[in-house]
A and B are shown apart, each in its own frame.
Chain A
Amino acid sequence: MIQLAKRVIRQTINDKRSVMLILVAPLLILTLVYFLLGDSDYVATVAIDPVAVPAPVIDALEQQELELVDITADEADQALDYLQQHEGVDAVLRFPENSAMDITLYEPSTKGATAISEIQEAMAAINPSAEAEVSYVYGTQDQTLFDSLGYVFLALFSFFFVFIISAMALVRERSRGTLERLMMTPIRRGEVIAGYTLGYSVFAVIQAIIIVLYAIFVLQLSNEGNIGWVLLTMVLLAVTAVSFGATISIFAGSELQVVQLIPFTIIPQVFFSGLIPLDLIPYHLGNLSYIMPIYYGAAAIKGIMVYGDGFSDIWGYLAGLTIYALVLYVINTQALKKFRKL
């Protein structure tokens, strides 16, 4: 078993692309995600007809982080056409005679939402009784999307990259005939899977440490709990990924087929990992998450990083992952009977 683990480590180190995929790719994507989901400092542009809008409102709007553009009364009447012709403008704000306020947006987007929230804040400034004070049990209003969803990516990365590499290595082992040769030595079937898992676990530990340190100390991902539990969860997730990869490799005839199976193996797990709140998924489809290993990892990491949970709160998820890995281990050991009944 140790022999096999050593070989897996040596083989992976000799293949530069695998090392990059495990150690560099997660950091690259995490950085991208940071910029995509982070605080954008976007300033929305709102068009108003200065004649029709009351002066205190204009004053209040100018106090907000908004770009104001003056338009004529005619343009304000034709708000839809105006927005279509002026791409840089996010919203047209009007005060028609018979209603309080009218906001026209180009499309339902984050830019429009920024414009609306700034306008609402301006209105609240004029009329303090309309202001709503929002408070949270966990987290603060200043947190970006990266803070509230970043944990999902920690789980995704520790699963995905190890899965890809281990599944491909095992498929290669089958197709090149080395697995048959391996099974003609006095190695036990269980040792093959255990050796693989052990070998990739070494990379999983290094990967988890690098990702977590980078996310928390460089990208300032907010973390309420103990980093140790995060690392443990990520490593456990990666161990499950090795077994998952080994199982998938049974159904793949070549490395290309591993890639072809990604829509069945990985993409559903991304949706059920916590990116979309499971309560919002109709027809109780959210329950499907229980058959997806990433769900257990992501839920545990969310517990630690967002709620500050300790072991007593997350052990259920860790147990779920462990059971998952054990079941796959048994399946994989049985599958090797194809090569040697013993």
Chain B
Amino acid sequence: MDIQLSRVNKRFGDTAVIKDVSFTVAAGEICCLLGPSGSGKTTLIRLMIGALPADSGTIQFGDTEMPNMAILKRLGFMPQNDALYEDLSAQGNLAFFGGLYHLPKRTREARIAEVLDMVELTDHKRKLVKDFSGGMKKRLSLAIAILHEPDILFLDEPTAGIDPVLRRKIWAQFQALKAQGTTIIVSTHVMDEVVECDKGALLYNGRLIEYDTVDRLLDKTASGRIEDLFFAASESEARS
């Protein structure tokens, strides 16, 4: 199921945060939303999942416009802040979200054990989240997002504040999910992570400045570093 954005605009008060963004994410790809902080990555994700209504333009999953209940079931979302219940244990958080997706009880428990293992939190499953470290919270948040085996996964800065070793492990997970056919839209401001993705969407001040395969994006730069594309964008904006 492709995700198509067509001429999407969004303003907060007087500030236009998303300006005329159009692109299509093909099913089964990892698409990376890249941009400096404040460029509109989070807003774009929230528009795509239907948490925010667009001022104009359309967002379609296949032929269906968002928000839609049937699509919501197939969608996983990991917000930028951890959005966990601090007074519940890791297991409690997972059981709650699993219940909201109406996972049958037996498969739910097996699946909870599986994702806890994936993010290496099995030993801490009974601990209350308020006693978790920042990295543990991030991992639990990821576990919740993939718990119901979504077809499309939205990840808002999933590796921010995570150490390099774990970051590599998490990216290996994403690749495994991709291999199972999951579409992943991931935002990041870590330019190195772009090489893990199939496509890169470069956002700058709410505008989509580049959208292409990562290989071709890298070819466009002289140094082979994605940052150069942003420097070019900032220079051309300064001139105009």
Contact = CB atoms under 8 A, between A and B. Distances in A.
Interface of A: 2-4, 6-7, 10-12, 14-15, 176-178, 180-187, 339-342
A50 B86 CA distance: 74
Contacts, number: 73
28 contacts: A2-B99, A6-B99, A7-B85, A10-B87, A10-B88, A14-B88, A176-B81, A176-B86, A177-B81, A178-B84, A178-B85, A180-B79, A181-B77, A181-B79, A182-B100, A184-B51, A184-B72, A184-B77, A185-B101, A186-B72, A186-B100, A186-B102, A340-B50, A340-B51, A341-B50, A341-B67, A342-B67, A342-B72
Contacts of A185: 72, 97, 100-101
A240 to B, nearest CB: 24
A241 B41 CA distance: 39
B116 interface: no
Contacts of B75: 184
Given A176-B86, A177-B81, A177-B83, 10 more contacts: A3-B96, A6-B99, A7-B88, A14-B87, A14-B128, A178-B83, A181-B83, A185-B72, A185-B97, A341-B53
A2 B105 CA distance: 14
Contacts of B46: 180
B63 to A, nearest CB: 17
A249 to B, nearest CB: 16
Nearest to B49: A184
Interface in B31-56: 46, 49-51, 53
Nearest to A177: B83
Nearest to A18: B87
Contact of A187 (B49, B51, B87, B100): B100
Interface string B65-98: 0011100110101010111111110001000110
A339 B67 CA distance: 11
A342 B97 contact: no
Nearest to B141: A181
Contact of A10 (B68, B83, B92): B92
A186 B51 contact: no
A186 B84 CA distance: 18
B73 A186 contact: yes
Nearest to A179: B83
A41 to B, nearest CB: 46
B116 to A, nearest CB: 18
Nearest to A182: B100
Leading 5 A-B pairs by shortest Cβ distance: A3-B99, A177-B83, A185-B100, A11-B87, A181-B83
Nearest to B46: A180
